Each structure stands twice: as structure tokens, then as C-alpha cells.
Amino acid sequence: MLQTFVWITSVKEKMKKTLPFFHLNSLKFLLLLTVVATLNANLMAQQDSIFWFVAPDADAAHGDNPIVVRFVTLDQDASISITQPAATSFPVYSLNIPAYSMGTVNLTASKAQIENTPYGTINTKGLLIHSTVPVSAYYEIAHTNNPAIFPLKGKTALGLSFYIPSQDVYPNNTSLNGREAFDIIATENNTLITIKVKADITNHTAGSTFNITLNRGETYSCRTILPDAAISLKGSSVTSNKPIAITISDDNVYPPNSGSYDIIGDQLLPVNLIGIEYIVVKGFANNYERIFILATENNTTVALDGGPVVATLNAGEQYTVTPTNNAYYITSSHPVYVYHLSGHNGEMGSSIIPHITCTGSPEIGFNRQSSGNFAMMVLTKTANISGFSIDGNNTLLTAADFSVVTGTNGIWSSARKEFNNSGAILPVGAHRIINTLGLFHLGILNNLGGSSEYGYFSNYTGLYIGADLTICEGNSVTLDAGPNRLSYLWSTGDTTQTIAITNPGTYWVEVDDEDCANLADTIQVKIFPPTPVSLGPDTAICQGQTKVLTPGGGYKDVLWQDGATTPTYPATTTGTYWVRVLDGNLCPARDTLNLIVNPLPGATFIKHN
């Protein structure tokens, strides 16, 4: 039976999350001002203003450069920075992008500082991306022999509990070094992570469970040792006490008789944001395509196209579909991951598929990277199929391109639209697809050189005001329930799209919109305990003496009244001295000391009788 399209989110799996404030050396102490951090839950594609990402290690022998991050804007100009919080030597990459445009940051010069090696050790390779407005972003390995895109999912990538879906059909090319891996990045200091692996990886054996502790921006790579298809990380699990993000990848995937081998992967979703109802639209990889359904709870039943149960899975078990239809309707009794191996014929890519319950976007910015074969996989409700336009042109994707998805009682329709070498119709560059009638999902396949790139660019969540977070005392956080809802009701009594809060507590919001009624979400906000800083009491010294001032140790940054950034300060003259610091949570603190320098007494003449 078709699932009802009303989804009420209970109090979800909770996550403690430090607000990742913008922090560059040149702007260290702007944090002393009131910071308003916006957690934007809009439905304009999988957009956000803050992204955490760790890049996989691609095989240099097959092609691992250039590496770039591409951004697409909608109706606002964006200023973007890319930093590495755990690596102070990493350069700051910056970019300004006009509205309705695509921009690229080339990171190739820093590749050795970005790809997450060595394996099985703690690294400092994590990227933190800030934008002044919400944007779509993806990391790309743009080598024509071995390309891949990793769409960045913003706050929806952050969580406390993950299972690892994986392809276990095709081996890695044994003549090269690429292997399957998952890579972890921490967003807060002292993040305790528990990992259970289902295959031998560097420094750990299959079936083992081990713990690591990462600080903000630190990373860890779990990489298989052997290239066999059956030696897979599928069903491995990762839990943590603070929010993390995970990138999955599989390099040099080698379908037999294809003559091709590729890197595939995506940024993962946490368990609390996956669902029980999916539609997968087949790509153009012909018989090489597979759909992998991974259970996260015991006794999970799986059905296809509204038919009988085809599998009953326990947590960590995976069911594989070899698609022959153009689309598959998948339902399950408990939340599952759906991972799609697709691409062009023999040229592989992969993507985590969004569930369809109250998800999707009314507008998506995307980029066509090359003039090679380009395809869209589009999913929407049948009532919406005549509402599409691309760059204002309503003839490029029409109702005639859609077919009803089997098993959905006619409610859902999908389209597989190719633009092969049609640069004049859909030229290389940034594009904007809109549906004026409702939400939709968009996957794209891009032929770069002889290989395929695959990614989904629509919204993976219906209503998500963010992970639980902790902010600095005195700061404000803006909670956003997304635009264009029919109604809003916050736990504070407000009925606006956003609320600004400064006090700790549990906050919830309920919204109605045209596609789903009675959506709800909850977030808990905490305050970091203040870190005291003290220069000591006001004091006096004699002329010629030095008073060495110190705020103490353990601070991320120190700034003195004259701009000095040393851990201590030698004071030798009368005056007021102050220090401003950022503690381990990037919270500011300040103290002041008044110093008096007493002159030496004048000479006294002694008369002898």
C-alpha cells in the first residue's frame, strides 16, 4: 500500500553540535561581537551555508587531480571561504560568486593536505566551508580518467549514528591501488567515535570494534586492504558522542567485460535522516546498474513496486536489486539506506538516494561540467509534471518526458532525460530548474572524458531545523523552519519562519505546507560553560622591571591590546593592558589589568663627619 504523505517527526536522535563560527586569522576576534548563526532549512535544493567534508584518497596512478569544489547560487551573491580547522598551515581559499551563477575553487595545490591519508591514523585533513548565503556545493575529482562528484549535504550530513552502504558486486582493478573506504570528520573537540568494521581495513580486522577520539577538523580513514568485491564494508557502523560527517568511496570499481574502472562515492546521511519510502530512477549504465538497500534495524521488511515482501533484513544486512525497469518504488518497515550504482554504460558513479516522504525542492541550481553526454533523473508527483522550466524554458523538460512509477497508484512519475552532446540546448555551465507546481528530486549524470559522474542535488529532508547545538554565552542563534510554509508554530508561541534565541532549552516547531501537513522538528540548544581568563589583580612594579602577563594556557587564539598574538606579554610601562582569547570551543573571553610603574627614588647624598 502507498504510504501516507504526512510525516510527523518525533523527537529525533539528538546531536550535540558546536556552532561552527566563521574564523580566520584576520578576523579572530570578531567573535567577541554578537554572532547570529542561521540554520537554514529552506527547500532550495540541498543548500546550506556551512559544510563539513573530508575528501577520499583517489588513486594517483589512475588520476586524482585536479580537485575542485564547485558552488551554484540562486538569487543571492555569495562570499565563500574554505579552511581546515585542524591544520593552521592550510591556506584560506576564498571566492565571490554572483547570483544565479557557478563558481569553482581549485584546491589542487593543496591536494596532499586534503586527501585523507595515511589510512588508519588520525589526520588533520577536514575541510570547513562557509558561505554568506545558502549555496549548493559539491567536491569533484575532475580527472577525465577517474572523475567523481560528492554533493555536500550541509547540516544534514552531520549525525551521531551511521551505517555504511556499499556496492559488493564489482571488484577493484587489481593492477591499481584504489580500494573501498569511508572517511570520518569531527566537528567538535573530544569527539569519541566507535567503529565496527565488516572487512579488514588498515590496522583493524573484519568484525572488530574500536574507538578513536578526534578533535574539530580531524579525520580518520577506514580503508579496505583487498580488492575483492565480496570483501565489502557494507553494514559497518559508526557512532559518536558529538556530530561527525562521513564520506563513502570505492576507487577503481571494475565491472567485468566493461574495460572501465572508476571511483564512486557520496557524502553519507545519518540514520536519523533516512526513511522508509524511496523511488530510484534508473540511469544509463544498462546492465551494470545496481540498487543496494541497507537495513538499520532488525526484522526490516522490504517491498518493491507495491508488491509483496522481497527481503527481511537485520541491522547491517543489505539487499541488492538489479534494475530492469526505469524506476523502482521501494518501501520498508524500518528506515533503510538506498544506495544507487549507476552511470553511463560501463562507466560507474553512485549516489545516496533521498527518501520521498515530504522531501524535495521547488528550485535547484546545478552545473553541466562538460559537453559530453549529460542526463537528468527527475522524480515528482504526477500532478506536478507540467510545471517544469529550465533557465526559463518550459520545453526542455515536459510532461511527455514522464512515466508513472509502478506501485504508487499513479501518484508519482519519473523522467530519464538525456542531453547528449546538445550544448546549444543545455550549454556547459550553471543552470536553474524550477517546478511551479510542487517539489521534485533531481539526479544528474555527467560524462567527463570517458567516465561518469553521478549525484543528487535535491533536498534530503522535509523539515530540519538542525542538529542539537551548543553556543557561546552571549551569542544568538536563528532557527529557520524554511520559507513558503502555510503556517508556523514555535514552542515560544511565535508564528514566524525564524526565531532568534539566546537562552538554552528545547525548542520545537510545527509547520503546514501544500505538500505535507503537520511537519514537526525539535532541537536542543545548550550554552558552553564560560572559560575564565585572568591576568591577575592590578599591580605595580619599579622602573626597569618587567611584568610578564599571561592569560593561561589552552587557548586557540590570543590577542593583546596592541595587536600582539603571543601567549605572554612583557609589560614595562604604566597603562591598561587587556587580552582577548578564544577557548577550545571558539568562545571569546577577556580580562584587563592596570599596571603602574613607579619611578626609582632619586640619589641621596650622605655627609660624613
Residues 6+ apart with CB under 8 A from 136: 45, 46, 47, 71, 72, 151, 364, 365, 366, 457
Mean pLDDT, residues 564-577 = 95
Q: What is the DSSP letter of 43?
A: -
Mean pLDDT, residues 456-472 = 83
pLDDT digits (tens, 9 = 90+) for 271-290: 989 999 999 999 999 899 99
Residue pair 522/12 in contact by the 8 Å Cβ criterion: yes
Output the nine-digit C-alpha cell for 201: 581495513
Mean pLDDT, residues 334-347 = 93
pLDDT at position 10: 30
Mark 191-210 as b/e (b = at least 16 C-beta within 10 Å).
bebebbbbbbbeebeeeeee
Give SS3 for 231: coil
Beta strand 569-571 with 67-72 is unpaired
Q: Say whether pLDDT at 6 is over 50.
A: no
CA distance 111 to 65: 8
Name the average pLDDT for the chain.
Answer: 88
Mean pLDDT, residues 34-47 = 42
CATH-assigned architecture of domain 539-598: Sandwich (2.60)
* Stretch among 15-19, 226-230, 363-367 having the lowest mean pLDDT: 15-19
* Stretch among 5-9, 45-49, 529-533, 579-583 having the lowest mean pLDDT: 5-9
Give SS3 for 396: coil
Residue pair 47/40 in contact by the 8 Å Cβ criterion: yes
pLDDT at position 3: 30
CA distance 119 to 130: 27
Residue pair 373/479 in contact by the 8 Å Cβ criterion: no
Q: Is the dihedral of CA 528, 479, 474, 78 positive or negative?
A: positive
Output the nine-digit C-alpha cell for 246: 562521513
Output the nine-digit C-alpha cell for 313: 533484513
Output the nine-digit C-alpha cell for 324: 530492469
pLDDT at position 18: 31
Matching residue, cell 520545453: 395
Q: Say whether pLDDT at 426 is over 80.
A: yes
Q: Say whether pLDDT at 607 is over 50.
A: yes
CA distance 423 to 417: 14
Residue pair 215/190 in contact by the 8 Å Cβ criterion: yes
pLDDT at position 422: 59
Beta strand 148-151 with 127-141 is antiparallel
Mean pLDDT, residues 416-420 = 90
CA distance 304 to 263: 29
Mean pLDDT, residues 484-489 = 86
Output the nine-digit C-alpha cell for 509: 516547531
CA distance 183 to 80: 24
Matching residue, cell 540511469: 283
pLDDT at position 319: 98
Confidence of residue 266 (pLDDT cuts 50, 70, 90): very high
Residue pair 81/92 in contact by the 8 Å Cβ criterion: yes
CA 415 to chain centre: 27
Phi-psi region of 296 (alpha: psi -120 to 50; beta: other; left: phi over 0): alpha
CA R_g for the chain: 27
Q: What is the DSSP letter of 100?
A: T
Mean pLDDT, residues 97-123 = 95
pLDDT digits (tens, 9 = 90+) for 509-560: 999 876 676 788 899 898 988 888 999 999 999 999 999 999 987 787 899 9
Q: Say whether pLDDT at 70 is over 80.
A: yes
Q: Say whether pLDDT at 482 is over 90.
A: no
- pTM assigned to the model: 0.82
Mean pLDDT, residues 25-51 = 46
pLDDT at position 609: 60
Q: Does 66 sit behind a cis peptide bond, omega within 30 degrees of 0 on the bond before it?
A: yes
Give SS3 for 598: strand
Give the DSSP H/E element, type plus range, for residue 114.
Answer: helix 111-114
CA 205 to chain centre: 28
CA distance 131 to 83: 12
Mean pLDDT, residues 307-312 = 98
pLDDT at position 31: 32
Q: Say whether pLDDT at 425 is over 90.
A: no
Phi-psi region of 378 (alpha: psi -120 to 50; beta: other; left: phi over 0): beta
Choose among 587, 567, 57, 235: nearest CA to 579. 567
pLDDT digits (tens, 9 = 90+) for 288-302: 999 999 999 999 999
pLDDT at position 608: 66
Q: Where in the chain is the domain with CATH 2.60.40.10?
A: 539-598
CATH class of this structure's domain 1-41+463-528: mainly beta
CA distance 466 to 398: 35
Query: Pick the residue with more confidence: 32 or 314?
Result: 314
Q: Strands across the sheet with 498-501, in order?
A: 36-39, 476-480, 498-501
pLDDT digits (tens, 9 = 90+) for 169-205: 999 998 888 999 999 999 988 899 999 999 999 999 9
Query: Pick the residue with more confidence: 173 or 423?
Result: 173
Residue pair 52/185 in contact by the 8 Å Cβ criterion: yes
Q: Say whether pLDDT at 44 is over 80.
A: no
Q: Is 603 exposed, middle or buried (0-12, 13-18, 19+ CB in 10 A)?
A: exposed
Query: Pick the residue with more confidence: 244 or 604?
Result: 244
